[in-house]
Structure 1
Amino acid sequence: MFTGLSAFPLTPVSGNAGIDEKAYGRLVHRLATTSVDSIGALGSTGSYAYLTREERARVARLAVEHADGVPVIVGIGALRTRHVLEAAEDAQNAGAAGVLLAPVSYQPLTDDDVFGLFEEVSAHLSVPLVIYDNPGTTHFTFTDELYTRLAHLPNVASVKIPGVPADPEAARARIEHLRRLLPATVTIGVSGDATAAKGLNAGCDAWYSVIGGTFPEPALALTRAAQAGQPERAERDSQRLQPLWDLFAQHGGSLRVVAAAAAHLGLTTPRNLPLPLRGLGAKEHAQVAAVIEKLQLHA
């Protein structure tokens, strides 16, 4: 479950309205039919921070229901430890195979704050936990020392790291260094889709993937190439997707691009993000559509 491709779908939300449950169910079922290794519900692409407890619990249940037996990892991040524990309880009650925890904050967090959060949450879990390191959204940077402390807590099964260095040797050295720090039972998963091929080729066990949630086929092809010991092919697959990586960089991240892509493909309604997120304008939507057509990324 914590190896291979973990695909993170959008959670379609129409402005101030509720979750588009039918569209979300279709997105998850579509991933299940393509044989992804796991499905990441309520990650950053899933807009978990904008949803109520009731909405998150419902999304978790929908994900498990439509995953057709594919393991579902549910995001449980929240500002307060109490709310994280509630989200963890709801995810487990929904049948989640694992949970994903990011240290969400308004006030800056210290390493001790974050360790205390994970210590309390991990002690209350009956399913495995993924450490979710996403400094672009949480504004918290994990140290290697903190990784090591957290990885020895009960139920910790994987660490989702940010993108690896661009140089292949430096990337491999980074992963080998982490291997020496972490228990053998804890897998290493790369995020930052543009560097996924480099991370997998450097020895990462998993790719926690944004594009996998909307475009599972090319993400799977890249992942399987790396797993098969074909690094050149994995890099070629990544280079082919460079126009998509460029869009992510241009728009400050992947969420708005993926939302526009899902709408263009007819997977969701045109407005699919929770307010105040407005998504991309008409000109930028056209750019996304042009890249999708150029790369032949179809639903």
Structure 2
Amino acid sequence: MSCFTGLSAFPITPASPDGQVDTAALRALIAPLAAAGVDSIGLLGSTGTYAYLSRAERRRALDAALDAAGGRVPVIVGIGALRTDEAVALAQDARAAGAAAGLLAAVSYTPLTDEEVFEHFCAVATGSGLPICIYDNPGTTHFRFTPSLVGRLAQVPGLRALKSPAPDPDTVAGHLDALRRAVPAEFRLGTSGDWNAAEALLAGGEAWYSVAAGLFPEACLAILRAAQAGEAARARGLNARMGPLWDLFREFSSLRVMYAAAGHLGLCRADPPRPILPLPEPVRRRVAEVVDRLALA
């Protein structure tokens, strides 16, 4: 089965204030994901704070994650960078280390045109030989991939899949249909945005790139399996049960909430990289209450 289908779990990347990855803590986060049977591990995504780590630290994180996964679960690793040559080098590092694929966002300070993004992705794919998932994350990159651009990129060897934010339930089917009509049959379409994932899966999404699964894989796998079996009512019910967590994600960002949840569970004591601040104590208590009430520990 492709590493671009099923449930991809995205953990945080514990690191010191000066950006040194805590590889022991990262292994402790990765091992339960592999044991739970997720379909892939999404290392160094946005929740994994890839943009805040040096190339050397990103390689250390990848080596630790691959070791913790033990070959049981493919690892998809973030390879986004401001410069094309840096992204190529990160993709080459990932391939050399043994990652299954790369996750490439259109990272830029200056807003990019479609043609600039197309050339960037072509250069990284052809320059590395690493299978790549296109990472559409307009909330951080301020660039949105249109179906027509995705269709062009899907013709480039090595560009195999798309991770896009799932829209609201009433538009997700149309979103996926427009993308499916633009790409070859073998090109995989997956979504992020945990609170809309159940509807995206029921509408035909082939992968769920999940932040919550980075700490709570069993709960997310239950939603995925119900959707895959066509059990819409069960998938929606399980998703509704996770509503308090989704509410926290929307209000405070999933990244901040996951750091607080990991601390509450005693899995690591790391804070997000500055200038991102940890959640204030009253909000951390809310996170702890939700985690405990949903029996997610």
TM bucket, shorter chain? over 0.9
Counterpart for residue 38 of structure 2: 36
Counterpart for residue 142 of structure 2: 139
Distance of 1:202 and 1:46 partners within structure 2:
28
Instruction: Specify the code of the residue in structure 2 equivalent to 1:265.
Output: L
Counterpart for residue 76 of structure 1: 79
Sort the Cα spacing of 1:44 and 1:222 in 2 relative to 1 into closer, same or farther, 3 A: same
Counterpart for residue 266 of structure 1: 266
Q: 1:164–1:198: 8 Å Cα contact kept in structure 2?
A: no
Select between 143-152 and 47-56 the one with higher mean Cα deviation: 143-152
Q: 2:21–2:60: 8 Å Cα contact kept in structure 1?
A: no
Q: Return the offset for 1:174.
A: 2.5
Counterpart for residue 214 of structure 2: 213
Instruction: Specify the code of the residue in structure 2 equivalent to 1:290.
Output: E
**Residue-by-residue CA offset, 1:126-154 (whole Å, 9 max, x unaligned):** 23110000111111111111111111111
**1:2-81 superposed matches below 5 A:** 2-16=4-18, 18-69=20-71, 70-81=73-84
Distance of 2:76 and 2:231 partners within structure 1:
28
Task: Tell me the C-alpha RMSD between the 2 structures.
Answer: 1.1
Counterpart for residue 293 of structure 1: 292
Which secondary structure does the structure 2 equivalent of 1:124 belong to?
helix
Determine what percentage of the aligned residue pairs are the same residue: 51
Which secondary structure does the structure 2 equivalent of 1:278 belong to?
coil
Question: Which runs of 5 or more residues in structure 1 are unaligned?
Answer: none
Distance of 1:147 and 1:17 partners within structure 2:
34
Question: Which runs of 5 or more residues in structure 2 are unaligned?
Answer: none
Q: Return the offset for 1:171.
A: 2.3
Q: 1:53–1:87: 8 Å Cα contact kept in structure 2?
A: yes
Q: Return the offset for 1:176.
A: 2.1
Residue 195 in 1 paired to residue 168 in 2?
no
Q: 1:200–1:223: 8 Å Cα contact kept in structure 2?
A: yes
The one of 143, 158, 162 equivalent to 1:159 is 162
Q: 2:162–2:190: 8 Å Cα contact kept in structure 1?
A: yes
Distance of 1:189 and 1:279 partners within structure 2:
30
Q: 2:19–2:53: 8 Å Cα contact kept in structure 1?
A: no
Equivalenced residue count is 294
Counterpart for residue 87 of structure 1: 90
TM value normalised by structure 2:
0.96
Distance of 1:128 and 1:89 partners within structure 2:
11
Q: Return the offset for 1:17.
A: 5.0
